[in-house]
Structure 1
Amino acid sequence: MWDLRYGVLVAQQAIPAPSTLPRPKKTGAIIRLSASSVPSADASNKKSAVQLNGLLVLAPAPDRDPQAESTPARSTILVVPLTVPATSTIAAAMGRASAGARWISTKPAPNAANQGPRGPEMSAAARKALKEMRASINASAAGNVAGAEAAFFEYFKPDNSRKAVLAAKADAAEGRVAPVEYVFTEGALGLVLPAAGAQASGPVTYSAKIVRHLLERRAVNSSMVEGGLLPALAAREDWETIALAMRTVSDLPETDTIALLSKVAAAHRRNAPTDDDSAMHIDAASSPTPALVTFVAQCVVYPFTPALQRVAVRKNIPDAANLLPVLQVLDGWIVQHTDDGALLAAAVPTSELPPLDMILAFLQPLLDASFLALLAHAPAHRLLRALAAHLEPTLALTSALEHLAGPLEPFARAAAKAQARAAENKDAAPKGDSGRDWRRKRKAAHEQAAVAVGLYQVEELVL
């Protein structure tokens, strides 16, 4: 029994061949191996293990000469009960590599040394598109990527065949996006998005159209670009593509996002007006960095690990002065959420304002990683007191409202069920018939009231 996921021998059993099986030297015997499932007696064991029966059928060859042999031909069925884990796990595979070593061939394939390492295969269309993109970039002396973009979008040109059109309609109805080959995406990014700090002898080629198209199709991850996706985009100062990457890429490291946050916060400090009128100010509109509020909102809603977030804050924002603008933005959002009884309001917050739970989850690693630095920075004391003054009443109110969760849960379920039923009825109602629908219902109600027999109503039948 082999674990094909990890390539190890899980168990083995040797059974001698029965002596009643005739095995001529020329024809041999027929061997068939199969597995049949049997119901498990233990209901709780179904989730962790599956019980099977291994069946090994040994039969004589069909072209044997029965008259030349004195013993009658017999077939044998060997049954071995098996208990197989439902899923492959590392725990079950650990320590079993040596058990199946004698069954695994370590000899290289013929001419394997001359072939070199082979990566994942690409389709012919993807290989052709990458070849044309590389040739266009190499032929351009000024870093022009127009030819590469033409070859790239020619590869994504929609297929007008009937089968392709039906598949595209089905994907669009279910909200799916056609997948893009991983190797093609990695190769295209390697051509049009150079890594941060890459030393290039010629002009640096960069195509925002190709990168954004791949990001919109959710075909990019951070490891496809050497050094990370966000540092490469930050080196090009393409903040619009950075915002798109933070919405579509799911594996951006915390170090990269906090490093960009530090850069935006530092630019915000430089562009902020000061009390000195003689100081020369920089026009904020000329800065390529986005607004601090916008970028902090993107960082707040992006998923992160608190432990890695704390390490990233200590590494990339050592100066407490750069952290103060971020804390001011978070404090303003907390005030908007908690002011005028916002916790009890049923209105949904605007899309520009992140949810309160995400704001608090993002604020906690910032304070954990830089609290001592903020204490040593005198201008931060006032902001820390303001945060405490805004959070303490909110936490007290939240603790008080938690006691109502149990008593109000049945009503919340009933309200959710009623809303879902109303939404289904609204979708099922025919369009353009709403004016006649209420008239029909009212007429039916009058007819039922006219023919109904009340509790104390007396009727007289005259013949």
Structure 2
Amino acid sequence: MDASIGDPFVLANYTAQQKSSKGKQRQQVSDVYATYTPGTRDGYVTATVQGDGIHTLDVSEIHPVAAHTFGPSTLFAGPSVARCTDGTCSTYAVVAASSDVTSEDAGRTIWKWDDDLSGSLPDSSSSSTKQSVTVPHIVSCIRVTDECPSTLLAWSPSGHLTLLGNDLKIRTTRDPPSQRRVLVQSFLVPSKPCAFVPSQVRHENDAIAICLEGDDRTTRARVLAVRDVGEVADVADLEISVPPENIASCTLSPTGFLTVLLRDGIWQAYQLSCSSNTFLTSLETIKLRSVSFVASSKAASDTKSPSSHEVALLALGSSHVLLAATAHPSRDLVLHIWDLAFSVLLATQTITLPSALAEEKRISIALAPAGAGQCVLVLSPAGVSGSARSNARSTVYVVPYSCPPASTIAHAMGRAEASKTWLAQHGGVAHGQAHEPKRAKLLKTIEGALASNRPQAADEAFAKWFDAEGLKGPGREKCENEKIGEEAERNDALGHAFVRDLLDRVLRPAVAGTVPYSPEIVRQLIKAGVVSAGMIDGSALLTALRRRNDWGSIQLVLSDGRVRDIPEVELADGLAHVVARASTPGDANAMQVDVPSTSDAPALPVFLALCVAYPASPSALRVALRRSLADAGAVLAILDVLQGWLARWAGMRGAGLATAGSKAKRKQRTRLAGDMPELPEILRFLTALLDATYVPVLLQHAPAGRALRRLLAHVTPEVDFLEDVVQLRGPLEPFVRAQTEKEQKQTDKEQGKDRVAKEPQGDWRQRRRAAHEAASAGVGLYRLEELTL
């Protein structure tokens, strides 16, 4: 069965009659809530309308079967729930404000009434039969499940859980582990399919309650076992390294598949496990785009910004999740079914917003399960107050869908192209990426130390952790295989995601100003060979380091191929910056404190040598140089350095120190060359520079002619010399090979490796036959056996 989303149909429309906001409790409620209750045929939907009342609707007939109206003075703290058995519907609601409830009991009062679904529609007079109870704490939501038919669960905003019977008698209350906790979301699932809890817990209890609670800067997943007799037991308390104020929505399936959607669009998936070893496994992380709540969160600085209301999640089983959000910039409502095990979009549906909501700046979206193959969708205005409420209407939909019962690669194949429209490039850093506790603690320590301007403390914390993990830095000279092996071990030990998050907290590439910074951590990571440019948004590693004036780390990045994926644009931008700094004249009258902090920037020849020696694509290098070097003075400064290098190479050739030669001559040539790049690298860069700047820059600049003529004077003798010696390449090649082989044997002997192949064993007849066959196998390089015309 393939995933699909059908056309939603309207179940009801409501206008919330609310007065102006008074108090914190009032500000946090939505206009309309909707919950589902199983029953005959397609079941019932209970709609809770602020300032109006509670309506029970038959989904199959699309009409109300029960209604209780209370007037605009009655407000509800959350969605109402209902139980339907033997033709009777029992409805429970938490009252936030009413003329029948005192201010002390507001938010702590639960009402209940019974309706006969087989009779006529009850009127408001039936409210006289309602029952009432006051619980010891504020109630933010109530839940029921068929597995606990005689129990009602009530949660407080601070994580208190109270169990009540159907007669509203309080059975027990469970306090949170800490008074600092704040309830983010609660889930109630049957215990039988909960494979993430021990089998003994599943068999001895009727339901599993999961509370996502904010505790300071972290989020905790508290797992409780509930029995219908009114008993509650703790099962586990897991830590999720996500700040609770960053959570836009979250959902949980009965299998323990937890997904957390952050306000910046990062969507994380976890697998709960409360068996013998309690742990939380991070499975997948993606980042959404083209949805309005992500665009709104970029401009929102308030942690209570209503931008998080424009998205809702609903678990469909396995790793499938239904997402409802408004698209950006079209403002259409989009419904998606995602398989987060493979990070692919399986089905999509687009709905035009109702005319009553199309002009609203913000809307609230809510999803609720509604039996097999359908869900309830509620669209209501958000942030509307006063007289504007007279035209603010909310709509309740029923959305049919189909979804595979299990996540398989067969359903995910071929879906990657459709997913690209809604996925952002995940080169950016995902704050809150799940790590093991030690690494999460290290990230918090470093972030806190830098926030309090204590980079020394950050260095010490990282060095202590680095040594404890047994990750040694570069030591003695090692052969290439040993270096590759150690680098692979460090990559596996540190991990791409951890290094990326660490760089983000230390470098803070999005911040352009001066911030506390720890260069030692960055340099240690670069020396370990675990840094890549792709860990920074846009592969702008050099730009981020340049903002921190960390030229030492930049030289480490470009030397010895420690970071191999630096874009050519980054090289050209850095070179243009160094040229501009070198050409800026200093002010003799400026005080010491007025001098900009650029003393760490290298001289132009030093940085140019690193750029010339760095491997780059010729075509990409030409484009980057054309874009970054638009000033003729900058190009001439670079040409002047390249011309000096060519003159030095010509002098070394005249002294008999050519590129090839004995080890002694190569050592002497290296000593004379210093940090100067090799001649082929200089010529490669010079060719790209002239191709990129000759027509648009140099041809229109009169002083450039003199520099080009000097350059031609150095190049012409080299070309003539190459034409003369190229004829000797063939005759001298056997001697070069012999010398290379001799030096290789000597190197292997020094490293204790005997790579010299042994002479073939056998008598003199076998050796002579082998030599004869080798001689007659082909014609030598400069041997002509026979020529017949």
Q: TM-score range by the shorter chain?
A: 0.5 to 0.7
**CA distance 1:154–1:341, change in 2 (3 Å):** same
Q: What is residue 522 of structure 2 aligned with on the other side? A: 211
Of the three residues 715, 718, 723, the one matched with 1:391 is 715
Give me the whole-angstrom Cα distance separating, in 1, the residues matched to 2:439 and 2:596. 41
CA contact (8 A) 1:320 1:377 kept: yes
Q: Does 1:229 align with 2:552?
A: no
Q: What is residue 152 of structure 1 aligned with on the other side? A: 462
| Percentage identity across paired residues of the two chains | 33
Single out whichever of 239-248 and 109-118 deviates more from structure 2: 109-118
Q: What is residue 132 of structure 1 aligned with on the other side? A: 445
CA RMSD in angstroms, aligned pairs only:
3.5
**CA distance 1:281–1:188, change in 2 (3 Å):** same
Q: Does 1:296 align with 2:608?
A: yes
* More strand per residue: 2
**CA distance 1:424–1:213, change in 2 (3 Å):** closer
CA contact (8 A) 1:337 1:343 kept: no
Give me the whole-angstrom Cα distance separating, in 2, the residues matched to 1:367 and 1:385. 13
Q: Does 1:259 align with 2:608?
A: no
Give me the whole-angstrom Cα distance separating, in 2, the residues matched to 1:269 and 1:209. 30
Give me the whole-angstrom Cα distance separating, in 1, the residues matched to 2:512 and 2:646. 42
Q: Deviations over 1:320-353 (max 9, x none)?
A: 1111111010011111112352676343332412
**CA distance 1:404–1:377, change in 2 (3 Å):** same
Give me the whole-angstrom Cα distance separating, in 1, the residues matched to 2:456 and 2:598. 28
Q: Deviations over 1:344-395 (max 9, x none)?
A: 6343332412100000001111100110211211111111011112112212
CA contact (8 A) 1:191 1:205 kept: no
1:237-276 matched pairs, under 5 angstroms: 237-247=549-559, 248-271=562-585
Counterpart code for 1:218: G
Deviation at 1:115, TM superposition (A): 4.2
**CA distance 1:355–1:370, change in 2 (3 Å):** same
Give me the whole-angstrom Cα distance separating, in 2, the residues matched to 1:319 and 1:375. 12
1:33-432 matched pairs, under 5 angstroms: 110=255, 112=257, 114-116=259-261, 117-118=268-269, 119=284, 122-138=435-451, 140=452, 143-158=453-468, 174-175=482-483, 176-177=486-487, 178-179=490-491, 180-195=494-509, 197-198=511-512, 204-227=515-538, 228-247=540-559, 248-271=562-585, 287-288=598-599, 289-339=601-651, 340-341=653-654, 345=658, 346=661, 347-348=665-666, 349-350=669-670, 351-372=674-695, 373-424=697-748
Deviation at 1:126, TM superposition (A): 2.1
CA contact (8 A) 1:254 1:308 kept: yes
Deviation at 1:231, TM superposition (A): 0.8
TM-score (norm 2): 0.35
What are the ranges of 5 or more consecutive residues in structure 1 without an aligned counterpart? Answer: 1-107, 273-278, 430-463
**CA distance 1:146–1:324, change in 2 (3 Å):** same
CA contact (8 A) 2:549 2:598 kept: no
Q: Deviations over 1:275-299 (max 9, x none)?
A: xxxx959999985231111111111
Q: Secondary structure at the match of 2:537?
A: coil
TM-score (norm 1): 0.59
Counterpart code for 1:324: L
Counterpart code for 1:316: S
Give me the whole-angstrom Cα distance separating, in 2, the residues matched to 1:144 and 1:420. 51
What are the ranges of 5 or more consecutive residues in structure 2 without an aligned counterpart? Answer: 1-252, 262-267, 270-283, 286-433, 754-789
Single out whichever of 410-419 and 109-118 deviates more from structure 2: 109-118
Number of paired residues?
A: 305
Counterpart code for 2:563: V
CA contact (8 A) 1:313 1:366 kept: yes
Deviation at 1:209, TM superposition (A): 1.0
Deviation at 1:258, TM superposition (A): 0.9
Q: Deviations over 1:69-95 (max 9, x none)?
A: xxxxxxxxxxxxxxxxxxxxxxxxxxx
Give me the whole-angstrom Cα distance separating, in 2, the residues matched to 1:223 and 1:422. 40
* More helix per residue: 1
Give me the whole-angstrom Cα distance separating, in 1, the residues matched to 2:732 and 2:463. 55
